[in-house]
Amino acid sequence: MLKNIIKRGHKKVLKSEVSDFGHAPPAGGRNSGNVSTSDVVVNHASRGNMVTNSIQSQQTPSVMTSAAPASGNIENLPLFRDVQISERQVLFFRKLQICCFQFDFTDTMKLVREKEIKRHTLVELVDYVQSGAGKISESNQEEMVKMISVNIFRCLPPASHENTGSENVEQEEDEPCLEPSWPHLQLVYELLLRYVVSSDTDTKLAKRFIDHSFVLKLLDLFDSEDPREREYLKTILHRVYGKFMVHRPFIRKGINNIFYRFIYETERHSGIGELLEILGSIINGFALPMKEEHKLFLVRALIPLHKPKSVAMYHQQLSYCIVQFVEKDYKLSDTVIRGLLKYWPVTNCQKEVLFLQELEEVLETTQAAEFQRCMVPLFRQIARCLNSPHFQVAERALFLWNNEHIVGLIAQNRNVIFPIIFDALQKNIDNHWNQAIHGLTVNVRKMFMEMDADLFDECQRQYSEKAARATELEEQRELRWQRLAAAATQGR
């Protein structure tokens, strides 16, 4: 009796009783519980990379990531129109399974047939979702989002500027690094876009699959160097923001965090421009009065985006967002102008030209009360720009007087602005090397004289007195040096 018990205790476990992960099934034998080993299929062809488990059940299907199959593992499935309506959901699921296979696109001659089958299958899925031929079941919607995740969520390759030892690479001169798997990736993005915008997509149901984790991974992909991918991401995230109201605060916070990392840590990111384009549309839809959260976003994220050296890459989109804020609430113009002055470039003339261009757009929507709060530091900076030896900076500063609204604000506050700006204009006329700058300065000076002749004469008199004092001080300084030289000679 004892020997029989020992023999049963050492009974060898059958292969069919071992699960895919190498563990025996629950106690009670192969037939106990809800696990049926006859439903488990192991793809041995992909074992070297990833074990693939597919539960072949129409009630609770599950799509798993699959490595590239051996030739012949992917079969051509019938078209949707060639099967009965009742069978289309099962066919839809089977097509999703095919699209989960991953391929190596660095070798264009490898698995050509299988790649083409997957591409054709993706085209069918896109057409099926876009046409609205049949409502997709809840389980298939979930599996579709999983398949999309398998394909698009990946580790991005190192950026072209990384690990090269070079700094401050001009990104606009670099060739963009294109994604080799784009023939498939584009179709996956198109499928996601069609699913999000479809009128058949129930937001309450879809938000279970397109959740915060999914949105966060989408945001991470904006660092892709491929401009085609970033364009799709921009469109998709914008649509998600519009359709899933529950995700809106989370998306804004996620974009905030990307900006913070970019400004204060890396100063490297490929998708800042696209994210700002999304924000431009979001800001345009802000309700009034504006929430404090949005004002803090302007102060803590948008204005500091002027700091990085690569601001030229996204300045057009940034300027649009800034102007949208001022147009929504004109009282923010003082905050914006002071923020521009805080981050005003010292040695980068190209950035100065961009700042002056943005400053003009902001001043166009600025009211008199806000202008008066910041006009003194503002025109001190403009005066410095007028005397810049870089003719483009001086020219762009002089172009401010071509704007009627800005000239009107200056005329209302001429008693304060004329004395600040007059010396810079006179120095340009006397000393600037560029004839075009000289001519523009003469025109602005003439405008001042016509605006208020008495004030102009007073500024002219003060300038002459300062020039005379400066000449006198220079003569005294020269005389001292002569005396010191003479004393040094006598001391020998």
Mean pLDDT, range 212-216, rounded to an integer: 97
Domain assignment present for residue 32? The answer is no
Mean pLDDT within 218-223 = 96
Tokens of 333: 């113009």
Q: Which amino acid is at 484?
A: L
Task: Tell me if residue 66 falls in helix, strand or coil.
Answer: strand
Could you tell me which residues come within 8 angstroms of residue 99 by beta carbon, excluding any fewer than 6 positions away? 118, 121, 122, 125, 147, 151, 188
Please give the angle made by the CA atoms of 462, 463 and 466, to the nearest 5 degrees.
85
Q: Give the pLDDT of residue 160.
A: 59
Other CB atoms closer than 10 Å to residue 279's CB: what's the count?
25
Number of domains in the chain: 1
Contact 371, 365 (CB under 8 A): no
The pLDDT, as a whole number, for residue 174 is 60
Q: What is the pLDDT of residue 110?
A: 82
In a domain, 120, yes or no: yes
Banded pLDDT at 109 (limits 50, 70, 90)? confident
At 102, list the tokens.
């991953």
pLDDT attached to residue 85: 86
- The DSSP code for 101 is B
Q: Quick one: what percent of the chain has pLDDT higher than 70? A: 82
pLDDT band, very low/low/confident/very high, at 19 (cuts 50, 70, 90): very low
Is a pLDDT exceeding 70 seen at residue 49? no
Q: Which one-letter DSSP state was computed for residue 81?
A: G
Q: What is the pLDDT of residue 354?
A: 97
Map residue 186 onto helix, strand or coil. Answer: helix
Distance CA 276, CA 360 (A): 20
Cβ neighbours for 83, distance < 8 A, ≥ 6 positions apart: 91
DSSP 187-236: HHHHHHHHHHH-TT--HHHHTTTS-HHHHHHHHHGGG-S-HHHHHHHHHH
Q: Assess contact for 406 and 447: CB atoms under 8 A.
A: no
- Chain Cα centroid distance, residue 40: 44
% residues pLDDT > 90 (the chain): 68
Which residue, among 325, 307, 235, 320, has the nearest Cα to 274 in the 3D structure? 235
What is the number of other CB atoms lying within 10 angstroms of the CB of residue 82? 9
Helix pair angle (435-451, 414-431), 10° resolution: 150
Residue 117 lies in a domain: yes
Structure tokens that stand for 394 in this block: 């001086």
Q: How many helices (H) and strands (E) does the chain have?
A: 20, 2
Q: 258-293, pLDDT tens digit by residue?
A: 999 999 999 999 999 999 999 999 999 999 999 999
Q: Could you give the count of Cα atoms lying within 13 Å of 445 in the half-sphere of its Cβ?
A: 19
Question: Looking at per-residue confidence, does 171 or 2 come out higher?
Answer: 171
Would residue 296 count as lying in a domain?
no
96 is a domain residue: yes
Residues, the chain, total?
492
Looking at the DSSP bridge assignments, the partners of residue 41 are 54
What pLDDT shows up at residue 293? Answer: 94
Query: Does any domain span residue 337?
Result: no
Task: Kindly report the pTM of this predicted structure.
Answer: 0.80
Report the distance separating Cα 407 and Cα 451, nearest Å: 10
Tokens encoding 228? 């085609």
The domain of 141 spans 73-156+179-209
Task: State how far the Cα of 141 lies from the Cα of 143, in Å rounded to an integer.
Answer: 5
Residue 338's contacts (CB-CB under 8 Å, 6 or more residues apart) are 374, 377
Residues 437, 391 contacting (CB under 8 angstroms) = yes
Quick one: how far is CA 202 from the chain centroid? 28
DSSP 256-284: HHHHHHIIIII---S-HHHHHHHHHHHHH
Give the separation between CA 273 and CA 465, rounded to whole angstroms: 51
d(CA 235, CA 258): 18
Q: Is the distance from CB of 196 to CB of 239 less than 8 angstroms? A: yes
Q: What is the pLDDT of residue 111?
A: 83
> Is 106 domain-assigned?
yes
pLDDT score of 64: 45
Which parts of 31-181 fold into alpha helices (H)?
A: 88-98, 112-131, 138-152
Q: What is the pLDDT of residue 103?
A: 87
- Cβ–Cβ under 8 Å, residues 255 and 275: yes
Q: 209 pLDDT band (50/70/90 cuts)?
A: very high
Q: Is residue 465 part of a domain?
A: no
Q: What one-character-per-residue DSSP string does 358-375 give?
A: HHHHHHHT--HHHHHHHH
Phi-psi region of 55 (alpha: psi -120 to 50; beta: other; left: phi over 0): beta
